[in-house]
Amino acid sequence: MHDLYTQESARLLGVAMRIARSDALAEDIVHDAFLKIWTRAGSFDPARGTARGWIFSVTRHLALNFMRDSAHIVQVSEQSESALLAEASLEAVTEADTFEYRARSGRIYGCLEQLEPARRNCILHAYVDGYSHSEISQKVGAPLGTVKAWIKRSLVALRECMG
């Protein structure tokens, strides 16, 4: 578990920070995520995706649930947010990760490019920016049901493309 924490904590902190927009909250979310990962490791199903994807999903869902349940909103200036995200991104990249990242990112970018622009934007807003479906609906100006359908169909298309 220590090795997993060493390898993934900075990236998970970046995910949590994009959603919580607070250092302290993000750290709490990552702590809770690792506890959940440890206690629920048996529920991981390799047929449904990678271990890395699963732990990112656990973290993302915990962060979204925390924000929704607590209705805790922290105002951060756009400039400060950009600086925090850039710092978290830089800390997360290690030399050992570079090769694997480049190999995988090339494939995912190719698959993302095959999606219609509106659907690609919904996927990126959900899984990179950490927006909820209703936030995405407002952002792109499409009905909530449409956004949910686009995301679901796009995930299926991405899974097929990634093989």
pLDDT confidence tier of residue 77, bands split at 50, 70 and 90: low
Could you tell me which of 23, 133, 15, 24 has the C-alpha nearest to residue 63? 15
> What digits encode the pLDDT tens for the residues 91-114?
554 444 554 555 555 677 788 889
> What digits encode the pLDDT tens for the residues 116-142?
999 998 988 888 777 889 989 999 999
Class of domain 1-76: mainly alpha
Domain with CATH 1.10.10.10 in the chain: 94-163
pLDDT of residue 75: 53
d(CA 142, CA 21): 25
> What digits encode the pLDDT tens for the residues 23-64?
888 899 999 998 998 888 888 888 877 888 888 888 988 888
Class of domain 94-163: mainly alpha
